[in-house]
């Protein structure tokens, strides 16, 4: 018997990294999951893993920056899977860089994806959860919500906003039996770094003793999964694995109604300074 038998979960950005791991883990515990993302093939791969392990998954190709598409994902979960108990607002992007020479289009994508879409996801989840007597919302923030360096400030600002939104929402929906948790990952080895310039990716691979060309580490593309597994195995504690954050999500949503988990901050034990 799973810890989440009979529950229904929506995960935005369920096609890759932390969202993918959370979808597979929640499904393994018995939840029926609805996953959204822009890449149909990647979503189907995740659904295939879930189905193979005996779980139930619904996929929806969508862009979280479109209000109607977020509402449609939540409604599809409610109508096709039977309600909404767990909403994981996970989709996010990062564009490295500072403010002095930053690009508005990069800032707009981060603000629209990390903040505005998360707000819409919260509102749509609350709408359905209120009809079903409550639920759990997990917002994926970052350790960057706790500090601001001299680069990546706008990304950091979006994650400060996620924490403020989560705090405010928690107070707003407490009486409706809706619990709100913010999960703050440190550096996690996912496909998140694909927006970084190739020279940064090449240097990061080199620092791990790897040749980016040989490993197939390319700007704009997903990392080869065999390489990810090897780095996690050969350099323990430098990065977290996506499963480490999925575990935090599972911890938050499996608590009894008497327990509210406000925040979970998870860092790699060696790569303490690695943000994300």
Q: Does 140 contact ligand NAP by CB under 6 A?
A: yes
Cβ distance 217 to 223 under 8 Å?
yes
The Cα–Cα gap between 23 and 9 comes to: 8
Among 13, 55, 121, 152, binds ligand NAP (CB under 6 A): 13
- Window of 84-92, 211-219, 227-235, 255-263 that interacts with ligand NAP by CB under 6 A: 84-92
Among 4, 8, 9, 18, binds ligand NAP (CB under 6 A): 18
From the list 221, 213, 268, the residue with the least C-alpha distance to 245 is: 268
The Cα–Cα gap between 180 and 188 comes to: 22
Q: Does 192 contact ligand NAP by CB under 6 A?
A: yes
The Cα–Cα gap between 228 and 108 comes to: 30
- Window of 9-17, 100-108, 170-178, 246-254 that interacts with ligand NAP by CB under 6 A: 9-17
The Cα–Cα gap between 118 and 7 comes to: 21
Dihedral sign computed on CA atoms, order 25, 8, 47, 125? negative
Residue 224 phi, psi (nearest 5) = -65, 130
Among 56, 65, 95, 230, binds ligand NAP (CB under 6 A): 65
Q: Does 113 contact ligand NAP by CB under 6 A?
A: yes
C-alpha to C-alpha distances, 88 to 18, 147, 206, 224, 269, nearest whole angstrom: 10, 23, 34, 25, 25
The alpha carbon torsion through 217, 215, 248, 36 (nearest 10 deg) reads: 50
Q: How many residues bind ligand NAP (CB under 6 A)?
A: 27
- Window of 60-68, 164-172, 196-204, 255-263 that interacts with ligand NAP by CB under 6 A: 60-68
Closer CB to ligand NAP, residue 102 or residue 134? 102
Cβ distance 58 to 34 under 8 Å?
yes
Closer CB to ligand NAP, residue 136 or residue 188? 188
Q: Site map for ligand NAP, 204-243, x if CB under 6 A?
A: ----------------------------------------
Return the SS3 of 267. coil
Among 60, 136, 142, 247, binds ligand NAP (CB under 6 A): 142
* Active site members: 155
Among 152, 185, 227, 271, binds ligand NAP (CB under 6 A): 185
The Cα–Cα gap between 54 and 51 comes to: 5
Q: Does 156 contact ligand NAP by CB under 6 A?
A: no
Return the SS3 of 35. strand
Closer CB to ligand NAP, residue 249 or residue 261? 249
The Cα–Cα gap between 71 and 123 comes to: 9
- Window of 127-135, 184-192, 208-216, 265-273 that interacts with ligand NAP by CB under 6 A: 184-192
Q: What residues line the site for ligand NAP (CB under 6 A)?
A: 13, 15-19, 37-39, 42, 63-65, 90-93, 113, 140, 142, 185, 187-188, 190-192, 276
């Amino acid at each position: 018997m799973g810890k989440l038998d009979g529950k229904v979960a929506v995960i935005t950005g369920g096609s890759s990294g932390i969202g993918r791991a959370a979808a597979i883990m929640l499904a393994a515990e018995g939840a029926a999951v609805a996953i959204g993302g822009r890449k149909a093939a990647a979503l189907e791969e995740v659904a295939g893993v879930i189905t193979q392990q005996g779980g139930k998954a619904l996929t929806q190709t969508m862009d979280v920056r479109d209000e109607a598409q977020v509402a449609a994902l939540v409604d599809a979960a409610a109508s096709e899977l039977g309600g909404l108990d767990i909403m994981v607002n996970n989709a996010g992007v990062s564009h490295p860089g500072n403010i002095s020479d930053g690009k508005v289009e990069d800032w707009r994508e981060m603000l629209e994806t990390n903040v505005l879409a998360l707000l819409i996801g919260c509102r749509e989840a609350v709408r359905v959860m209120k009809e079903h007597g409550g639920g759990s919302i997990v917002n994926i923030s970052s350790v960057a919500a706790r500090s601001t360096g001299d680069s990546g400030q706008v990304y950091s600002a979006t994650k400060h906003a996620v924490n403020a939104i989560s705090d405010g929402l928690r107070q707003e929906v407490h009486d409706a039996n809706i619990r709100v948790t913010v999960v703050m990952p440190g550096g996690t080895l996912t496909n998140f770094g694909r927006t970084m310039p190739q020279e940064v990716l090449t240097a990061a691979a080199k620092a791990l003793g790897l040749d980016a060309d040989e490993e197939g580490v390319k700007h704009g593309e997903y990392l080869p999964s065999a390489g990810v597994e090897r780095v996690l195995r050969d350099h323990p504690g430098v990065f977290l694995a996506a499963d480490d954050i999925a575990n935090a999500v599972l911890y938050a949503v499996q608590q009894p109604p008497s327990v509210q988990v406000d925040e979970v901050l998870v860092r790699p034990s060696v790569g303490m300074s690695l943000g994300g």
